[in-house]
Structure 1
Amino acid sequence: MKLSNDFVLSFFGLKEGKHKFEYRIDKQFFESYSFDEFLDADFTIVLDFVKKSTLLELYFTCEGKATVTCDLSNEAFELPMSGALDLVVKFGEEYNDDNEEVLILPHGEHQLDHSQFIYEMIVLAVPLKKIHPGIADGSLKSDVLKKLDELSPEKKKDKEETDPRWDDLKKLLIDKNK
Structure 2
Amino acid sequence: MKYLKKYKIPFSGLSTGKHNFEFDIDDAFFACFEHSLVKKGNLTALVELQKQENMLIANFNIKGHIELHCDVCLRTFDAPLATKERVIVKFTHDEWDQESDEIIVLSHNDYEFDISNLLYEYINVCVPHYPKCSEQGENIDCDPAMLEQIADENDVENESKEDQLDPRWEALKKIKNN
Q: Which TM-score tier does this pair reach, normalised by the shorter chain?
A: 0.7 to 0.9
Map residues 4-153 of structure 1 onto 2, 5 A cutoff.
4-35=4-35, 37-38=37-38, 40-92=40-92, 93-94=94-95, 98-133=99-134, 140-143=143-146, 145-152=147-154
Q: CA deviation at 1:34?
A: 2.4
Query: 1:92-111 CA distances to partner (integer Å, 9 max, x unpaired)?
Result: 22476842211111122221
Shift in CA distance, 152/123, structure 1 to aligned 2, threshold 3 Å:
same
Number of aligned residues: 173
Q: Normalising by structure 1, what TM-score?
A: 0.79
Shift in CA distance, 63/94, structure 1 to aligned 2, threshold 3 Å:
same
Greater Rg, structure 1 or structure 2?
1
Unaligned runs of 5+ in 2: none
Query: 1:7-57 CA distances to partner (integer Å, 9 max, x unpaired)?
Result: 111112212122221111110111112256545310010111111111111
Q: Structure 1 counterpart of 2:175, which letter?
A: L
Percent identical across equivalent pairs?
A: 27
Q: CA deviation at 1:64?
A: 0.8
Q: Using the alignment, how far apart are the partners of 2:136 and 2:7 within structure 1?
A: 38
Unaligned runs of 5+ in 1: none
Shift in CA distance, 11/95, structure 1 to aligned 2, threshold 3 Å:
farther
Q: Normalising by structure 2, what TM-score?
A: 0.79
Q: Structure 1 counterpart of 2:149, which letter?
A: K
Tell me the secondary structure at the aligned position of residue 87 of structure 1: strand
Query: 1:59-101 CA distances to partner (integer Å, 9 max, x unpaired)?
Result: 1121111122222222111111122321111112247684221
Contact 2:8/2:114 (<8 A) preserved: yes
